[in-house]
Amino acid sequence: MTSKLPVPYRPLGLLKTLIESLGFQVTHCYEDLVFIEHNAFLLRMEERGEEVSLFFNVDSEVDKRDGIAELFSTVGKTHSLVISCSGTYRMTPNEEDGTISLEFFG
């Protein structure tokens, strides 16, 4: 009888493999956040390794969100990940210092 290994804390390698298998590219990682090309959505790794939150950019196409969320949820399960849609976010550049501010909405 085989047992599944526990999902590690902040499973970036696992997420990157999953994201690329769906045809998306990771553009940047910062602490617990995984940014995806075109910034239509991002993933946040939660305290428990298997839990991942999906947030959509407030400017993303609303009619595509449900399909993407369902895809990530379904494929995530095959990797022992629980990927749930958790809301939206806004990304704003800070002109003064060249950084970016993120604001999350539930």
Tens of pLDDT, residues 17-28: 999 999 999 999
Q: Is residue 52 part of a domain?
A: yes
pTM equals 0.90
Q: Is residue 22 part of a domain?
A: no
pLDDT of residue 9: 84
Q: Is residue 13 part of a domain?
A: no
Sorted by sequence, the CB contacts under 8 Å of residue 37 that are 6+ apart come out as 24, 25, 26, 27
As for how many domains the chain has, the answer is 1
Task: Determine the structural domain holding residue 80 and report its residue range.
Answer: 30-105
- As to burial, measured by CB atoms within 10 angstroms (0-12 exposed, 13-18 middle, 19+ buried), residue 102 is middle
Q: Is residue 72 part of a domain?
A: yes
Statement: residue 1 has pLDDT above 60: no
Strands (E), the chain: 26-30, 33-36, 41-45, 51-57, 82-93, 100-105
